[in-house]
Amino acid sequence: MRKLLIPFALAIVLLLTTFVVLQIARGQNQSGQSGELIISSESQADNTRQITAPDGTLPETNDSNQPLISFIDSPTSACVQPDTTKNECFINWYYMSVSADPSYLITMTVRLNDFGFVGIYGGFFQTSMYVPYDMNPRGYQVACGAPGSGGDPHWGEAYAWTIRARDSGGLGAANYGTTYCPAYTP
């Protein structure tokens, strides 16, 4: 009987330790640049998009009534140099779009990391926000930069950007990316 007691006690201790370790691992979450919990994240090359929530705001269950916010859709970021005789470029997106349900969208902001905030769009009791390129007809003005100034010898300056959206339920979404401009060669 004693021969069975020691292996049985050891098996119980190992089983309990396994459950404790799994609970600790399950409770760990990634945190974003603002210290928020990252609910979901996608990356492609140097570009990343995330959905975040303030720490402690998400229920443990998969409740179907739980507030949702979409990824921000911001395809085709472009840097255009309309006059090649000037060191003047403009960054814009084909469109920027985000939706929330059942919460309302409060803001969507555009930040060129070298300059700070360059655009803010406010929602008013709306569950989706769509900003077409022609809301900023020329885009955001930046210097084109000398060849290689952004790290690529064939292009000019590179500008990192962040687009963030926030809803009335406290959830957020963010896109991070980099846009290269044509080189200015006087």
pTM, entire model: 0.73
At residue 29, the pLDDT reads: 45
pLDDT at 33: 54
Whether residue 92 has pLDDT greater than 60 = yes
Question: 92: which strand partners?
Answer: 78
**Confidence tier at 117 by pLDDT (50, 70, 90):** very high
State the average pLDDT over residues 3-11: 61
Rg (CA), the chain: 24
Q: What pLDDT does residue 56 have?
A: 61
pLDDT of residue 4: 63
List 109's β-bridge partners, or say none: 120, 164
Contact 70, 86 (CB under 8 A): no
Extract the tokens encoding 20. Answer: 């404790």
- Reduced to 3 states, what is the DSSP secondary structure of residue 6? helix
Which domains are assigned to the chain? 31-55+69-180 (2.60.40)
What is the rounded distance in angstroms from the CA atom of residue 168 to the CA atom of residue 157?
Answer: 36
Closest CA to 173 of 76, 32, 66: 32
Residue 96 CB-density burial (10 A; 0-12 exposed, 13-18 middle, 19+ buried): buried
State residue 45's pLDDT score: 79
pLDDT single digits (tens) 8-59: 655 665 555 554 433 433 344 455 555 678 888 888 877 788 888 887 655 4
- How confident is the model at residue 35, as a pLDDT? 65
Cβ atoms of 137 and 174 within 8 Å: the answer is no
Tokens encoding 156: 């000019």
| Selection from 185, 81, 94, 77 nearest residue 141 by Cα | 81
pLDDT class for 66, splitting at 50, 70, 90?
low
Per-residue pLDDT, 50: 87
Kindly report, residue by residue over 135-186, the tens digit of the pLDDT. 998 999 999 999 999 999 999 999 999 999 999 989 999 999 999 999 999 8
Could you tell me which residues come within 8 angstroms of residue 99 by beta carbon, excluding any fewer than 6 positions away?
69, 70, 105, 127, 128, 129
Query: Is beta strand 140-142 parallel, antiparallel or unpaired with respect to 37-44?
Result: unpaired
- In the numeric block, the tokens 């500008």 are attached to 159
Pairwise CA distance, residues 112 & 63, whole Å: 36
Residue 60 has a pLDDT of 54
